[in-house]
Amino acid sequence: RASSPSQPKICKKRKQSLDRRRGKTRIYVGNHIDRWLTLKEKLDFRNDAEVAGFLLDLPVFPASLGV
């Protein structure tokens, strides 16, 4: 079955849209990636969002920050 000429354009636009959306949620951990991955493994988290949520929930921020 032959695909229409516009099919590759649709796939490319969809990929670009998904890449833009994904890019808005990325954080850079730099040289700490090994520590991040170790923590993720030790706590048996399935994804990076769970690690981030866990770390944000730790009581280390002063209440005055409202975080």
Residue type, 49: A
| Number of domains forming the structure of the chain | 1
First vs last C-alpha separation in the chain: 55
Return per-residue pLDDT of the chain as tens, 67 residues.
555 556 777 788 888 888 888 788 888 899 999 999 999 999 999 999 999 999 988 887 666 666 5
Provide the residue range defining the domain that includes 34: 7-62
Residue 43 DSSP SS3? coil
Please report whether residue 67 resides in a domain: no
